[in-house]
Structure 1
Amino acid sequence: MIDTRRLRTLRAVADHGTVTAAAAALHLTPSAVSQQLGALEHEVGQRLFTRDGRGVRLTAVGKIMLKHANEVLAQLERAEAEVAAYSTGAAGEVVVASFATAIGVVLAPAIAALRVRLPELTIRVLDAEGDHSLTMLLDHTADLAIAVEYRGAPDAADQRLFRLALYAEPFDLVLPRDHPLATAPPLALDALAGETWIGPYPGNPVHDVIAFACEQQGFTPSFAHSSDDFRAVVALVGAGAGVALVPRLAMRDLDRSGVAVRQAPGPERRVFAALRRGTEEHPLLRPVVDELRRTAHALG
């Protein structure tokens, strides 16, 4: 009989790529994780991982086991959700990991509505960048994640996740007020190919969206200044340090006095909610998901 705790360890190592990182996510020692993997390999009778530089990668048998581990763990989540629905109803705590803009535009309004409708439901919020929230979800640090689409993000077919699209927002082009293109006719992104760019750090999903949009126009943006805080990005543009693309909802409350803001052609920030597969009908999570959908719909 395969121990499900070892299946969770298998998935954590596959997700994080190293025993040390998986151990930190599981709140175990690296030695304990190695022992769990060794025991699972003994149960299966096959090697599941092989060394890959400083990390590890799945063998062919490991990939087969991971597929079944995802199915088994999702079924266990489903069983726990049904038991919770029978025994408790919508009373308890839900931990939501989300990036800052989505906290302001969809999560906070949803919490306000739920406090009136379901006062016994407590929501705890963790501020996390659009990619980190998914890691927190899969590591069981959060029950629900609000994340941003980016290259390499888990797609709708990922067996670990249940996903729900929330909203898509365009980007605004932010230029110094005296920039020659600040008042030009409608322009394409390739007109900015030679500019100095300001934006989030590599690894931030917004950085990826911007880079991909520019690559589709035939150039790679030259990022000279990096900040994950859009207030800082807009302030640097106002100081003449470069140009930027900023998601429109993130621009709502920012100081625009030193910049010109223009509609940017093409890119969008696509935002979705994610749950661990099997928890989508949990009585604590279902009302949160439904309220997030209503709040996002109200954005238009």
Structure 2
Amino acid sequence: MIDVQRLRVLRAVAEYGSFSRAAAALHLTPSAVSQHMAVLERSLGAEVVARSTRGVTLTEAGQIMVGAAESVAAELEHAKQQVEQLSSGRTQLTVGTFGTGGRHLLPGALARFTAAHPDALLHVRQGEPEITLPLVRQGAVDLALAYHFDGPLPLGPGPNSGLRWTALLEDPLHVVLPEGHRLADRASLDIAELAPEPWVLGCLKTEAYLRRYAERAGFAPEVRGSTTDYFFACSLVAAGMGISLIPSIALVPPVPGVRAVPVEAPAPTRYVGVATIGRHGDRPHITAFLQALREQAARHAPPAKPPA
């Protein structure tokens, strides 16, 4: 039988990339961590870590076991929550969310859920997907409202594998210009037309995304401002600092002094969905909240189709 403590140690080794850093995080000695790994490898009959002078990396077997360790941790956390609910008599649900998703999708879903489950105890944790998705795997969050841009879902090989993704909506990005801009009255814009324009961006991910699309169009964007808030970025656009690339749901309510113009196909798009872990048929409160999110998302756009 595999010891749960050794799985916990393996998770730490995978997270920190070395025995010494994992030992410090777990308040163990590096020798104790090494012994845990050696015993785990003997019980499996396979190496779980590859050791080198630069640290340790997971083998294929190690990646499989880390995925199993995350699932075990999530199930234990869920069991703990169930026991706590027995004593409190109340269903508890913790929801992770990113900022604009929380602002536009979560309130309506929360209202629907609490109307049907008035005794439920809800908690909300805000964070970008790279923060909230691991929390789902660890069982610290029951589900996470998250997003990804064009490309693979954020659940492939790596720290988010094993999660279940439920697509909610497609969130196309728009070019935001000052309302007096020469292109502000256009029905749509090709990214290539914007080559001479300075840019103000609302998040680091959008900047990387813009640079990729701009490279395809044959130019390097001049970025004059970078923020972590789409609304602030729109305000800077209104002040004449540049133009921006903003997801649709972040354009409500509109900021005075700017115009949002759709991008011509292939339009850059953000895909919004919900990440859960394992089966949730035995967790009716998660199923109910997912349905509330679907209903709220349907008010914004048709259900999303993840890219091939």
Q: What SS class does the counterpart of residue 245 from structure 1 fall into?
A: strand
Aligned partner of 1:245 in structure 2 is 245
Indicate the SS of the match to 1:125.
strand
Distance in 2 separating the partners of 1:79 and 1:97: 16
Q: Distance in 2 between matches of 1:98 and 1:34?
A: 39
Cα distance in 1 between the residues matched to 2:56 and 2:222: 33
Deviation at 1:161, TM superposition (A): 0.5
Determine the structure 2 residue equivalent to 1:193.
Answer: 195
Question: CA 1:201–1:173 in 2, change beyond 3 Å: closer, same or farther?
Answer: closer
The residue that corresponds to 2:259 in the other structure is 260
Please tell me whether residue 171 in structure 1 is matched to residue 146 in structure 2: no
For residue 131 of structure 1, give the secondary structure of its aligned residue in structure 2. helix
SS at match of 1:149: strand
Are residues 144 and 220 of structure 1, via their aligned partners in 2, closer, same or farther at CA, if it must alter by over 3 Å?
A: farther
Aligned to 2:279: 278
Q: Does 1:29 align with 2:31?
A: no
Matched, 1:40 2:40: no
2:115 aligned partner, one-letter code? V
Q: Percent identity?
A: 28
TM normalised by structure 1 equals: 0.79
Bigger shift: residues 169-178 or 119-128? 169-178
CA distance, structure 1, for counterparts of residue 21 and residue 108 of structure 2: 35
1:289 match:
290
Q: CA deviation at 1:19?
A: 6.5
Q: 1:37 to 1:272 in 2, by over 3 A?
A: farther
Distance 2:286 2:35 in 1: 35
CA distance in 2, matches of 1:8, 1:255: 48
User: In structure 2, what is the Cα distance between the partners aligned to 1:98 and 1:228?
Assistant: 15
- Please list the CA deviations of residues 248-276 of structure 1 after superposition, one character each: whole Å capped at 9, or x if unmatched: 1111114222x232122301111110012
| 3-state SS of paired residue (2:105) | helix
Tell me how far apart the structure 1 counterparts of residues 77 and 139 of structure 2 sit (CA, whole Å): 15
Give the equivalent residue in structure 2 for 1:161: 163
Q: Distance in 2 between matches of 1:175 and 1:270?
A: 23
Q: Matched residues in 1 for 2:111 and 2:229: separation?
A: 25
TM-score by length of 2: 0.77
Structure 2 runs not aligned, ≥5 long: 302-308
The alignment partner of 2:268 has SS state of strand
Q: Give, as a single letter, the amino acid of the residue that structure 2 aligns with 1:210.
A: L
Instruction: Name the CA distance, whole Å, in 2 between partners of 1:116 and 1:22.
Output: 44
User: Contact between 2:74 and 2:138, CA under 8 Å: does it hold in 1?
Assistant: no
Query: Aligned with 1:285: secondary structure?
Result: helix
- AA aligned opposite 1:233: A
The C-alpha deviation readout for 1:151-177, integer Å capped at 9, x for no partner, is 675336864201101111111211123
* CA spacing shift, 1:272–1:111, aligned 2, 3 Å: same
Distance 1:165 1:185, change over 3 A: closer
Conserved in 1, the CA contact under 8 Å of 2:114 and 2:120?
yes
Q: C-alpha displacement at 1:244, in angstroms?
A: 0.5
The alignment status of 1:229 with 2:226, answered yes or no, reads no
Structure 1 residue 116 displacement after superposition: 1.4
Structure 1 residues 31-58: Cα deviation after superposition (integer angstroms, max 9, x where no partner): 3787456413323136533467876421
Shift of residue 230 of structure 1? Answer: 1.0
SS of the aligned residue for 1:162 comes to: strand
Offset at residue 142 of structure 1 (A): 1.7
Q: Distance in 2 between matches of 1:174 and 1:270?
A: 19
Alpha-carbon offset, residue 21 of structure 1: 8.0
Q: Secondary structure at the match of 2:236?
A: helix
Q: Distance in 2 between matches of 1:227 and 1:53?
A: 39
Task: Indicate if the aligned counterparts of 1:77 and 1:277 stay in contact, CA closer than 8 A.
Answer: no
Structure 2: which amino acid aligns with 1:288?
F
Q: Is the partner of 1:2 in helix, strand or coil?
A: coil
Distance between the aligned counterparts of 1:20 and 1:194, measured in 2? 50
RMSD over aligned Cα atoms: 3.6
Aligned to 2:304: none
Number of residues paired by the alignment? 291
2:263 match: secondary structure: strand
Q: 1:296 to 1:32 in 2, by over 3 A?
A: farther
Q: Distance in 1 between matches of 2:220 and 2:296?
A: 36
